[in-house]
């Protein structure tokens, strides 16, 4: 088992990465379970196959549970979803010193985390991530949010969990496409800051995607360790360090917006394409060689992720995509920071990027091949 500390003054916690953790839940979470009844918020698709394992562990420890099931999908990360959940938590008598369990992917983690951030001005929660994306990204670092009609994740809070248990076994039931989408975030850690990890993934990525346990555990643990380092350095995304985690997200956000944030392009797929575009744009600026940019493209394609925006069949111009970017929540005093590359493993924050040039670049990419 890998145990990765997230070191934050007064709010430090551990991320445990191993198979079988849901079945050992009560043992690891014992210090946080002060009452007999444990409130659980769970994604229906995660609960059906994995809820029983969690319950057996609680029962063995003499605990009971109260369950709030969340319907799968982004629609649950809404004002209505938040209100319903908070009303339920209040009915359960959850107090500030209690801990709520969040079992599921980023949707349940973000929704539960935000509810716990505001419930009685903040109660505890434990992340039990069941998607690869949630294990390597959303469950770690304390960003919580819901969506509004104005856009995704526009209302939220920083609220750190008290413990994260990433159980490899939970991924056995994850649809293959979701697994690949999560892998894009794994690859991101290599591309942004760790050339050795990028090379390791080139060799072992197919084993990771095939859920071969040693490889999967190592990929998740190295990803979490990378994120933990960055979050410890810049918890609130103020110094620029945490912003590097947005590699691929600005281009990806534009593609997600153009496809209506629908199932036609999952978030991780947008990030994968976004990384390719960030690498190619960096090559256009002369910051990296085009061979290196194509190494990123090859890594994305090898994982079975979309790597060419021309293949999406979008009926739009580069200018339309650039306009979507201007609605990105990362806009800062009228300018949009981009994460670009000076090499694989060498991401940097670029301000004052010429949006007309971005639009021209995207038009070329839409027409390529």
Please give the residue ranges that form the binding site for ligand NAD (CB under 6 A).
43, 45-46, 49, 72, 74, 77, 104-108, 110, 130-131, 133-134, 137-138, 141, 143, 152-153, 170, 173-174, 178, 267
**Residue 141 beta carbon to ligand GLY: minimum distance, rounded to whole angstroms:** 4
**Residue 72 beta carbon to ligand NAD: minimum distance, rounded to whole angstroms:** 3
- In the bound state with ligand GLY, the residue whose beta carbon lies nearer, of 109 and 141, is 141
**Residue 105 beta carbon to ligand GLY: minimum distance, rounded to whole angstroms:** 13
**Residue 42 beta carbon to ligand GLY: minimum distance, rounded to whole angstroms:** 22
- In the bound state with ligand GLY, the residue whose beta carbon lies nearer, of 28 and 143, is 143
Report the partner that residue 131 touches, choosing among ligand NAD, ligand GLY, none (CB closer than 5 to 8 A by kind): ligand NAD
- In the bound state with ligand NAD, the residue whose beta carbon lies nearer, of 244 and 283, is 244
- In the bound state with ligand GLY, the residue whose beta carbon lies nearer, of 265 and 359, is 265
Report the partner that residue 63 touches, choosing among ligand GLY, ligand NAD, none (CB closer than 5 to 8 A by kind): none
For ligand GLY, the nearest residue by Cβ is: 245
Report the partner that residue 74 touches, choosing among ligand GLY, ligand NAD, none (CB closer than 5 to 8 A by kind): ligand NAD
Report the partner that residue 235 touches, choosing among ligand NAD, ligand GLY, none (CB closer than 5 to 8 A by kind): none
Name the residue with tokens 């995304």: 237
Angle CA(14)–CA(19)–CA(23) in degrees, nearest 5?
85
For ligand NAD, the nearest residue by Cβ is: 106
């Amino acid at each position: 088992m890998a145990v990765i500390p997230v070191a934050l003054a007064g709010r430090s916690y551990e991320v445990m990465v191993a198979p079988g953790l849901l079945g050992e839940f009560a043992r690891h979470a014992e210090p946080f379970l002060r009452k007999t009844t444990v409130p659980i918020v769970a994604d229906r698709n995660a609960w059906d196959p994995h809820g029983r394992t969690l319950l057996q562990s609680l029962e063995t420890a003499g605990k009971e549970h109260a369950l709030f099931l969340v319907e799968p999908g982004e629609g649950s990360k809404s004002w209505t979803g938040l209100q319903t959940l908070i009303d339920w938590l209040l009915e359960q008598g959850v107090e500030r010193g209690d801990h709520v369990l969040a079992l599921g992917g980023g949707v349940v983690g973000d929704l539960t985390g935000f509810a716990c951030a505001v419930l009685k001005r903040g109660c505890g929660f434990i992340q039990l991530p069941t998607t690869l994306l949630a294990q390597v990204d959303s469950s770690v670092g304390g960003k919580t949010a819901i969506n509004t009609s104005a856009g995704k994740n526009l209302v939220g809070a920083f609220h750190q969990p008290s413990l994260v248990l990433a159980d490899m076994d939970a991924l056995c039931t994850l649809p293959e496409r979701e697994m690949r989408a999560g892998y894009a975030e794994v690859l991101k850690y290599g591309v942004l800051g760790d050339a050795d990890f990028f090379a390791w993934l080139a060799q072992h990525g197919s084993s990771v995607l095939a859920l071969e346990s040693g490889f999967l555990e190592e990929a998740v643990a190295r990803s979490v360790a990378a994120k933990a380092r960055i979050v410890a350095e810049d918890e609130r995304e103020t110094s620029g360090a945490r912003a590097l985690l947005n590699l691929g997200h600005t281009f990806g956000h534009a593609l997600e917006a153009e496809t209506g944030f629908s199932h036609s392009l999952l978030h991780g797929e947008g990030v994968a394409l976004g990384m390719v575009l960030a690498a190619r744009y960096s090559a256009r600026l002369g910051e990296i060689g085009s061979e290196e940019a194509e190494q990123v493209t090859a890594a994305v394609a090898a994982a079975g992720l979309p790597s060419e925006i021309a293949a999406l069949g979008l009926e739009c111009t580069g200018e339309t995509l650039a306009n979507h970017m201007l609605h990105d929540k990362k806009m800062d005093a009228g300018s949009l920071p981009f994460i670009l590359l000076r090499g694989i493993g060498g991401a940097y924050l670029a301000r004052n990027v010429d949006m007309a040039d971005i639009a021209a670049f995207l038009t070329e990419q839409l027409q390529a091949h």
